[in-house]
């Protein structure tokens, strides 16, 4: 199939969907695909990660969760947004079908919006979902508190059923809506720079451990930063915008020569939430992790099992994260031997090849 044209739909919930999608898109580009991205994820992630510029259309096709910050979310606000999205689903399906026709689209990939899968399915256009969870499974979890979530979940499941193929990532939840499921290895990224060179170029101290605070937004309590600052003789913590923490123990590293994945490579440890993107980043470099909880999010316990199986790690309750009570967790992590993960990380290459194979199969003779 000469130079297929693919629309790649990416959830705007967090950065993990985009980070892994970028790796697959880079592989699709290598294989001769023209890719159009539709997402609400901030553009800087694509500028930083894509091997070459592609067309990006700022348009969202799922809600995810309405976040208060990187850890907390507003479930009632999320439900209202999901109801609104479902009310517009059929109209948006027709709009996407016209887009496919006008643009001469060969097939679509979704991580993991449901509306485009239905749009492609009804046209007989090849479609591939890629994820470790689907939103019907996430939302059904909240039905035990509010039964309306069950009906919303079932409506979403119906749209997922219209997709062709799911490439299922490791650390997955129940994804029963998909008619055909194939497992693929972890999709991740690696720094192309050496750890020592990064640390030297950033003029990082050799007599202190280097931590990376892997949040884009976290609000420390009034005395939190002062408590953390008491650790300054032993630690220096790197942060990236838009996170802004005022203390000499934090050093802000702007974009430019060094990307976020370079900082993961350079760090002795990462403090973060248990999200798929940062877990994959740490797994690809063997970087130890202190992780905090995410409230009632059903992906969380599955990711925690993956973290415990493959990384040096310890858990920090979010109350201690916000209050700056970090010392005991840092000591606990330091007492552990560093584990070198043994897990396949070539999922991007596997996924890209399978996407093109599937489009060729569905195209027929």
Question: What pLDDT, in 10s, does the model give residues 115-168?
Answer: 999 999 999 999 999 999 999 999 999 999 999 999 999 999 999 999 999 999
State the CATH number of the domain containing residue 247: 3.40.50.2000
Q: pLDDT digit string (tens) for 284-327?
A: 999 999 999 888 999 999 999 999 999 999 999 999 999 999 99
Range of the domain at 161: 5-187+346-363
* Whether residue 353 sits in one domain with residue 306: no
Q: How far is CA 187 from the centre of its chain?
A: 10
Any domain includes 341: no
Among 258, 252, 254, 262, residue whose Cα is nearest residue 213: 252
Pair of tokens at residue 242:
């838009």
CA atoms within 13 A on the CB side of 228: 25
Number of domains within the chain: 2
* Whether residue 103 sits in one domain with residue 224: no
Q: pLDDT digit string (tens) for 180-218?
A: 999 999 999 999 999 999 999 999 999 999 999 998 888
Alpha helices, H only, the chain: 16-30, 43-49, 75-87, 89-103, 115-123, 135-140, 148-160, 195-201, 224-229, 260-266, 276-285, 299-310, 318-323, 327-334, 347-363
Any domain includes 62: yes
* Whether residue 352 sits in one domain with residue 326: no
* Whether residue 153 sits in one domain with residue 16: yes
């Amino acid at each position: 199939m000469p130079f297929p044209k693919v629309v790649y739909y990416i959830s705007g919930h967090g950065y993990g969907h985009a980070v892994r999608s970028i790796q697959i898109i880079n592989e699709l580009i290598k294989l001769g695909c023209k890719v159009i991205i539709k997402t609400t994820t901030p553009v800087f992630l694509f500028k930083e990660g894509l091997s070459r510029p592609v067309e990006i259309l700022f348009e969202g096709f799922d809600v995810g969760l309405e976040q208060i910050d990187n850890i907390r979310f507003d479930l009632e606000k999320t439900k209202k947004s999901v109801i609104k999205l479902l009310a517009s689903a059929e109209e948006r399906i027709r709009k996407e079908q016209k887009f496919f026709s006008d643009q001469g689209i060969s097939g679509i990939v979704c991580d993991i919006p449901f509306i485009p899968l239905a749009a492609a399915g009804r046209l007989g256009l090849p479609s591939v979902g890629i994820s470790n969870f689907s939103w019907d499974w996430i939302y059904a979890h909240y039905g035990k508190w509010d039964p309306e979530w069950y009906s919303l979940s079932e409506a979403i499941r119906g749209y997922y059923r219209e997709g062709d193929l799911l490439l299922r990532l490791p650390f997955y939840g129940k994804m029963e809506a998909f008619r055909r499921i194939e497992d693929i290895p972890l999709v991740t990224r690696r720094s192309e720079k050496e750890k020592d060179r990064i640390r030297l170029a950033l003029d990082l101290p050799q007599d202190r451990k280097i931590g990376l605070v892997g949040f884009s937004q976290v609000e420390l309590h009034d005395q939190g930063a002062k408590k953390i600052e008491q650790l300054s003789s032993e630690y220096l913590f790197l942060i990236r915008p838009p996170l802004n923490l005022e203390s000499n123990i934090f050093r802000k590293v702007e974009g430019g020569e060094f990307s976020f994945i370079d900082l993961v490579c350079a760090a002795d440890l990462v403090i973060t939430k248990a999200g798929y993107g940062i877990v994959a980043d740490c797994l690809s470099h063997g970087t130890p992790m202190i992780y905090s909880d995410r409230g009632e999010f059903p992906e969380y316990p599955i990711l925690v099992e993956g973290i415990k199986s493959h990384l040096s790690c310890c858990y920090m309750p979010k109350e201690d994260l916000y209050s700056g009570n970090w010392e005991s967790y840092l000591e606990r992590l330091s007492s552990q031997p560093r584990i070198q993960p043994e897990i396949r990380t070539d999922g991007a290459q596997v996924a890209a090849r399978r996407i093109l194979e599937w489009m060729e199969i569905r195209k027929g003779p």
